[in-house]
Chain A
Amino acid sequence: MSLGLLFKDEVNGFYRSKVMIALLVGMPVIAVLMYLLSPDLGGMPLAAFTAVTISSMAGLLASTTLSVSIINERTQGVYDLFLVRPVKRSHLLVAKYLAVVACVVAAAVLALLVASAYDWSVQGTVYLGELGQPTLVVMTMACVSCAVAVLVGTLVRSVLLGVILTIYGGNQLSAVIVLTSLENVVSTETSALIGLVLAAVVLASSVVLFSRKVSS
C-alpha cells in the first residue's frame, strides 16, 4: 500500500527533475544530431541507431541521478519523516528504483517511437521487429545500473564517491552483461535474464543493508 503511494510520488519527483527533461528531449535530439552528423552508418535506420545511443546514455544518467538523490536524501534526513510513519524501509528504496527504471524505459520507448516515425516518413517502412532487441538491451542496462546505484546510495555518504562508484560499478557491470549478447555469447533474452536476476540480487542486498540501518 505504501509502496504504490511512494512509487507514484517518486515518479512525480523524478518527472519534475531536470534529468527527465534530458531523457525526454535530450536523448532524441542527440540521437538525431549524431545520426545526421555521422557520415558512414551504412544505411542504418534512425530507430536502430537511437537504440544504441540511448542504451549508453539513459542508464548512465538515470543511475547517477538515482544514487545522488538517495545519498542526499539519506544524509539530509529526508527519510526520517517517512520512517516514523508506517512505511517499510524496503519500500522507500524499491519505490525509488522502480520509479526511475520506469521513467527511463518510458523515455527510451518514446525516443524509439519518434525515431521510428522518422524512418517511416523517410523510407516508408519501419523495422519494428528489429527494435525488440535494442529495447531489451536498454531495459537490462537500466535495471542493472540503477540497482547498483541504489546499493551505492545506501552505503556511501559522499556524493562524489557515489557518482564514481555508480559510473564504474553500475555502468561497467551492465555493459559487460549486454556485451555478452552483442558478442553473441548468449542470446539477448538470456543476457536480459541474467541482468534482471543480478539487479534483483543487488537490490535485495541494498534493502537488507538499509533495513539493518548500517549506514544511518
Chain B
Amino acid sequence: MVKRGEQMEAIIIEDLVKRYGQFTAVDRATLRVDEGTVYGLIGPNGAGKSTIIRSLLGLIPYQGGKVIVSGTDMSTPDAQRKVRVGYLPQKAAFQEWRTCEQALLTLGRLSGLEGERLRTRVDEVLDQLGLEEHRKRRVSKLSGGTLQKLGFAQAMLHEPSVLVLDEPMASLDPASRFMFKKIIKDLRASGTTILFSSHILSDVEDLADDVGLLQNGKARYSGPIDGLERMVSLRSELVVELADDRGEWRSVSVPGTDIRQPSPGWLVVHIDDAAQWDVLASRIVEALMKAGCHIRAFNRHDPKLEDVYMAYVGGAK
C-alpha cells in the first residue's frame, strides 16, 4: 500500500453539476482519486455514475464545477494528447464490420502506438483477456461478455496512466469476473490509477482503496472504505443466542441500549454510542445473566459494506 497523504490526486471532481434539460443528473458531486489507487464509485441504477464518468472524460458537457484528470481538464482541446486515459464504457460498441484485431489496431494507432510495439501490445491484451481465439472474428458476431472483454482490451491497450471503467463486471460470468479483478489488481500494482463504477458491493470491497457513494446524483460519502465502516460501527450490534428463552430478558434495561427479539432464542442489542461499547456490552451480558437468561453464545455484529450501502442509499428503493 502506498502511504496516504504523499501522493497527488489523479482525478479531481469538484462540485460537478450536470443537467439533462430540467433534470439534474449530477448535483454538486465532489470526489477525489489519489494517484496509483483504485476508486470504486457505487450507487444504484440511475444514481449518475455513468454521467460523472462521461463528464470526467470530456465526452459530454456539464453545467458547473470542475473535473480534472492528471492536472488537465479533459474537455479542453488537446487534453487527450496530454493525458493518457483508458475508458471502458458501460456498453462498449465497435463498428460492426471490424474484427477484434482490426478494432484494436485502429484504436491503438489512434492512441499513438505503431509498428512492432502496436503488434506486441495487441497480442498481449488479446492474450491477457483470453480473446486469442476471437482475434479474426467480426465484432458483430461476439457475445456480450466477449464484447466487454474487447472493451477492456482497448481500454488498457495503450497502457494509460488513468483507467476509467464503467460497470466493468456487470455482465460477466464468474470466471471472467475473476479475470477482470485480477487484471485490475495487476494494473494497480504497476501504478495505474483506476476509477470504476459498480452496483456490486463485493467488487468494491475486493478491489477499491477508496469508495464514493452516490445517490440521486449526490455524493453521500467519498473516502477510504474503512472510514465508511467506522462511521457505521455507530450501529454495531450485540447478537445474543439464548438456550430455552422464557422471556426473562424483558425485565432487563440498560441505559444507552435497546434490546429486541427478531426471532425466539435470539436477541439483538443496539448500542447507541459505539464509543461506550466496551462498558455497555459486558453490562448487558451481566444483566441478562442476572435476570436468569441462559446465554448460549454472544457475538459482535459489525455491519458489512452492504449494510452501510443500504443505510445510505438503499432505503429509498
Contact = CB atoms under 8 A, between A and B. Distances in A.
B39 to A, nearest CB: 18
A84 B57 contact: yes
B112 A80 contact: no
A22 to B, nearest CB: 15
Given A84-B59, A84-B87, A85-B107, A77 B93 contact: yes
Contacts of B91: 76-77
A131 to B, nearest CB: 32
Interface residues of B, number: 28
Contacts of B158: 85
B260 interface: no
Could you say which of A13, A82, A84, A86 has the most chain B C-beta atoms within 10 Å of its C-beta? A84
A187 interface: no
Interface in B105-123: 106-107, 109-112
Given A9-B106, A16-B97, A81 B92 contact: yes
Interface in A92-116: none
A73 interface: yes
A216 interface: yes
Nearest to B158: A85
B142 to A, nearest CB: 14
B87 A80 contact: yes
B94 interface: yes
Given A81-B87, A87-B80, A13 B97 contact: yes
A80 B110 contact: no
Main secondary structure of the interface of A (DSSP, over half): helix
Interface string B161-203: 0000000000000000000000000000000000000000000
B4 interface: no
A1 to B, nearest CB: 10
B110 A86 contact: yes
Contacts of A85: 80, 107, 110-111, 158
A113 B119 CA distance: 40
Contact of A78 (B61, B81, B93, B110): B93
Given A82-B110, A84-B80, A77 B60 contact: no
Interface of B: 54, 57-61, 78, 80-81, 85-87, 89, 91-95, 97-98, 106-107, 109-112, 154, 158
Interface of A: 2, 5-6, 9, 12-13, 16-17, 73, 76-78, 80-87, 212-213, 216
18 contacts: A6-B110, A13-B97, A13-B98, A16-B97, A77-B92, A80-B57, A80-B59, A81-B92, A83-B58, A83-B59, A84-B57, A84-B85, A84-B87, A85-B80, A86-B112, A213-B59, A213-B61, A216-B60
Given A86-B111, A216-B60, 14 more contacts: A73-B93, A77-B89, A80-B57, A80-B87, A80-B93, A81-B87, A81-B89, A81-B154, A82-B107, A84-B85, A85-B110, A86-B112, A212-B61, A216-B59
